[in-house]
Structure 1
Amino acid sequence: MIKLFVTDLDGTLLGMDHYIKNEDIDALKWMIDHGTPLTVASGRMDHEIAEVLKRVGVNGHRVSQNGAFVYDNQGQEIYAETFEGNMAERILTAIEKEPMVKTVSTADQTFTDKHHEWVDIISEQLFHDIIIQPDLKQEIGQTIFPSKITLNGQEADVVHAAKNIKETFGEEIDSFISHETCVDMMPKEINKRNGIRKLIDKLGLKPEEVACVGDSFNDISMFEMTPHSYVMATAHDDVKAKASQVVDHVHEAIEDLEKKGLLNKKEQAADV
């Protein structure tokens, strides 16, 4: 039986301009009412996930910034991680010449060193403003403690940058394309799979009791942890190859689980 349903946000549950389909909202509420808890796992910050849950009108566990922060549905912190030592500074130095906008995220803020048209584009999709900090690099480790560093730009630049980052840092950090317009760099072993594992360990669940849905490269790690994985039809072919089934909408994944008899009934649900 599925005892936890995990959904990504951007490109999966959340469309452009923060749009969420009514069919997806109804399906999530039905699923929760019938005993299967929800988790949102996203590259976004925790307060942004909380805002989406509020707009949907449901409660849920939260795995934010690709697994850097994990909270249960009561708001209790389960896990938190930021870059150690001078790693963030090393990354910023390595990506300095990339023709893209660099943003640095902490637990609850996003910084960049100068204004650019891409900053306005990114801000439109966030639930908070990006802070312009001209002395960003100098403030790393002093007043700014990064949990995620992101390059934002055109798809071709994103692909090229992702390759360069892998070649430069290898296994020192985790990096992946989280959207066609951005590549995220995370502390080592910080990804959605490991964030979800922190959560299910606390809940006493097994990976095979988890179902998940996503659409991008940063979702592959969670696809690989469970046989019940769904990927959006709009995803890159390499991402689709890692999931068990392709769907067009989140509600289709929930409906498929229900048809297979894998969702908990209310009277059978564990208190998670």
Structure 2
Amino acid sequence: MIKLIVSDLDGTLLDQGKQINERDRRAVRKAFDSGLDLCIASGRMNAEITIIMRPFPNKYHAVGQNGATVRLNNRRLLGAKDFAPDLSLQLLQAVPREEFISFVHCTDDSYYARVHNEVSRSYEKRIMSESSVHNNLEDALANEVFRCSKLACFGELAELIRLEARLNRQFPGQIETFISDKDCLDIMPLHVSKGTGISLLIRELGIAPDEIACIGDSFNDLSMFALTPHSFAMAESHDEIRGQASTIVHSVAEAIDQILAYNTMSVAN
């Protein structure tokens, strides 16, 4: 019996306009009415998740920033992870300022742009809260003015893939990296992922891995797919992502319909 549905946002529950369409809204409500619990697992910060999920206040758990923050549906912070200060500074310095637009994220949902220009502002528009301002991020990290929980780098996909490989060679066994969008590389502390965040959540809730279903579309969703036999990849996702999911769907609503049918069959048997 599936007890918890875990859904990604961008490319999954959100449409191209960054909205939840009416069919998926009805399906989520139907899942709630059937007694299922919901968790949103996203690379976005919790402040953004709260804005997106306004139609469902206090009804969902949230794994934010790819697992750096985990919150229960009563908004209690269950867990938070960030980099050691010296490592976050080294990582930022290893990302060429001229080639990539970089943002330092913190577990309190503040974030800082490395540079402020027209290009960086175009990326900030995709983030649903305004960035904080600090004139020298390297100095701030060195002096622990704030702690970094995620470093997000934007640029051309081919260049991001090369950057990802180089960072993993330069910092072996120290970081987790995910291509989370067609133009975004997320760099996380070691052992921080959606999968580790969900594992913490389900231990708190007393739910077994085979009692959850995960829905996603990107490489940062693979760690949660690995937790459960009930994994759903969006049909438009990359071949590798579809290949690691148990089921391919065209919408969250379709996945929820299959989950409810599975539960009905489980009860009948």
TM range (shorter): over 0.9
Question: Could you say if the C-alpha distance between residues 30 and 172 of structure 1 is closer, same or farther in structure 2, counting changes exceeding 3 Å?
Answer: same
- Alpha-carbon distance in structure 1 between the residues aligned to 2:125 and 2:199: 32
- The equivalent of 1:185 in structure 2 is 187
- The equivalent of 2:8 in structure 1 is 8
Question: Could you say if the C-alpha distance between residues 34 and 264 of structure 1 is closer, same or farther in structure 2, counting changes exceeding 3 Å?
Answer: farther
Aligned residues: 265
Q: Percent identity?
A: 34
Q: Deviations over 1:214-235 (max 9, x none)?
A: 0100000000110000011111
Listed as ranges, the gaps of 5+ residues in structure 1 are 266-272
Deviation at 1:183, TM superposition (A): 0.6
Listed as ranges, the gaps of 5+ residues in structure 2 are none
Alignment check: 8 A CA contact 1:18 1:125 kept: no
**Aligned residue runs from structure 1 range 250-261, under 5 A:** 250-261=252-263
Deviation at 1:98, TM superposition (A): 6.3
- Alpha-carbon distance in structure 1 between the residues aligned to 2:180 and 2:265: 28
- The equivalent of 1:196 in structure 2 is 198
Alignment check: 8 A CA contact 1:173 1:187 kept: yes
Q: Deviations over 1:249-269 (max 9, x none)?
A: 11110011122236999xxxx
- The equivalent of 1:117 in structure 2 is 118
Alignment check: 8 A CA contact 1:3 1:264 kept: no
Deviation at 1:113, TM superposition (A): 2.3
Whether 2:62 is the aligned partner of 1:62: answer yes
Instruction: Please say which of residues 131-140 and 256-265 is displaced more in the overlay.
Output: 256-265
Instruction: Please say which of residues 221-230 and 135-144 is displaced more in the overlay.
Output: 135-144
- The equivalent of 1:160 in structure 2 is 162
Instruction: Please say which of residues 84-93 and 130-139 is displaced more in the overlay.
Output: 130-139
Residue type of the alignment partner of 2:84: E
Deviation at 1:132, TM superposition (A): 4.1
Deviation at 1:117, TM superposition (A): 3.3
- The equivalent of 1:169 in structure 2 is 171
- Alpha-carbon distance in structure 2 between the residues aligned to 1:263 and 1:44: 35
CA RMSD of aligned residues (A): 1.8
